[in-house]
Amino acid sequence: MDPTRSTAVTLLAEMNSGAISAEEVTRAYLDRIDRLEGRIKAFLHRDADASLEKAREIDALRRAGGPVGELAGVPIAIKDLLCTRGVPTTCASKMLATFRPPYDATVIERINAAGAISIGKTNMDEFAMGSSTENSAFGPSKNPWDEERIPGGSSGGSAAAVAADFAPISLGSDTGGSIRQPAALCGIVGLKPTYERVSRYGLIAFASSLDQIGPFSHDLADTALLLKIIAGKDPRDATSVDTPVPDYPKTLDTPPESLRIGLVREFFGDGLDPEVDAAIREAVRVYEAAGATVREVSLPHSKYGAPAYYLVAPAECSSNLARYDGTIFGHRAENFDPISPAEAELPVLIRMMMASRAEGFGPEVKRRIMLGTFALSAGYADQYYNQALKVRRLIRNDFDTAFKDVDILVGPTTPTAAFKFGEKTADPLAMYLSDIYTITTNLAGIPGLSIPCGLTKSGLPIGLQLMAPAFAEEKLLRTARVFEKATDWHTKRPGLV
């Protein structure tokens, strides 16, 4: 048995039976990372000794017959915007290059309590702003299916780590598609839960009304298990809801009573690659063969999703990132001498802040801060930001209307398979449209899931997106499981050796 080719659920069964130890599992993943990480660059920080020490503790607890958690001994990769006590948490930014949080995020507390073993902090687009991981201050991650192509973003490192078999599961965050898009491009499962389902305490914020933490995995059994562990009310997060958390693994293999599926008309227009289109329609035929009724539905305001998102998200980014000015924490410029007569008139403190932010933030973060600051500025807030909020409400209304007639909405996760590095960096709008099918679920606050559903002729993964009403993750997972059990796309792995 090669542990690195297994799922978390399989590894747990093997460890609980005594067939393999947590230390052996962890060493197998660490050895694979040592061999291949130089090519994939999925991680920003690793501590092999700490990972092995935790594995030995789990093994000792098992031998003693003590209670162990639901993830005891399972390696997990963590996106580098989740605060981890004493461990570098950089958001892939020079601004936080030396930041070591004094506390754990709630999701980190929960996976630690469950006995998971952190295998490392993963690369990402700086402050989660991007769709390709090319915006990382420390260099991009590579797609394990084709190292000349992007793994997606912003959670590209977390997706690449699972696809490359560096960990069976990982955590990412999704603000406009940052879990589902890289999951689709890397051929794995990625879930964005309902906003409020998972605590955001300890998540370094990009856009507070949109951000949500969720799992990556190879199959839905692992997704269901990890979601069960991280979901639930947290008194430290005022936006988390005290709604019961279903036992997702227990019900996963029970097909829904009805399979009423809506095919989103607006997701099949210009810009959709024909190979992606064909794979999605074939996936729909799989559902029809399983007894589903499929009808076309309309989300008429989805065409305004990208414009609304790129007003709401940058506005919140502008506010959230205002704290990083070099005065309390974050990068501080060493030289802030004036370079013009106008700057010489400014107070020293202001010049220091300006220089620190100029050095600490990358181009994409600066672009979004400026967009957001403009959208919130006096005289423009009503014209831009408040209008975007109204459109957001209309988008949520579209989903509510659609879910009166169908249980689950489906469509492509991304318009194309993974593109090559540099292909879209010169055109921010083209890059932004990589998330055109995922943005609206964040604006509406509903859950979205991407599962593998095919490969292009050149061997690149294609993702099927499923969307459900708020807090209907159980139905979403069960519906997706129908497709997963009827196909073998989730078993495909890149030929990375």
How far, rounded to the nearest angstrom, does the alpha carbon of residue 59 sit from its chain's CA centroid? 30
What pLDDT sits at residue 453? 98
Render pLDDT for 430-478 as a digit per residue (tens, 0 to 9). Answer: 888 889 999 999 999 999 999 999 999 999 999 999 999 999 999 999 9
Question: In this structure, what are the phi and psi dihedrals at residue 160, rounded to the nearest 5 degrees?
Answer: -65, -35
Residue 215: its H or E element: strand 212-217
Task: Mark the ranges of the chain whose per-residue pLDDT is less than 70.
Answer: none
Find out if CATH 3.90.1300.10 is the number for domain 3-255: yes
Residue 1: its H or E element: none
What pLDDT sits at residue 395? 98
pTM of the predicted model, to two decimals? 0.97
Render pLDDT for 205-236 as a digit per residue (tens, 0 to 9). Answer: 999 999 999 999 999 999 999 999 999 999 99
**Cα 175 from Cα 304, distance rounded (Å):** 17
Give ranges for CATH 3.90.1300.10 in the chain. 3-255
In this structure, the number of other CB atoms found within 10 A of the CB of residue 487 comes to: 17
What pLDDT sits at residue 455? 98
Render pLDDT for 22-81 as a digit per residue (tens, 0 to 9). Answer: 999 999 999 999 999 999 999 999 999 999 999 999 999 999 998 999 999 999 999 999
- Report whether 18 contacts 73 (CB < 8 A): no
Half-sphere exposure for 159 (CA within 13 Å, toward CB) = 41
How far, rounded to the nearest angstrom, does the alpha carbon of residue 491 sit from its chain's CA centroid? 21
Q: Which residues make Cβ contacts (< 8 Å) with residue 150, sequence separation at least 6? A: 132, 133, 134, 140, 143, 156, 185, 418, 419, 420, 421
- Report whether 148 contacts 154 (CB < 8 A): no
Half-sphere exposure for 146 (CA within 13 Å, toward CB) = 17
Question: In this structure, what are the phi and psi dihedrals at residue 379, rounded to the nearest 5 degrees?
Answer: 90, -15
What pLDDT sits at residue 52? 98
Average pLDDT, the chain: 96
What pLDDT sits at residue 258? 87
What positions carry a catalytic annotation? 79, 154, 178
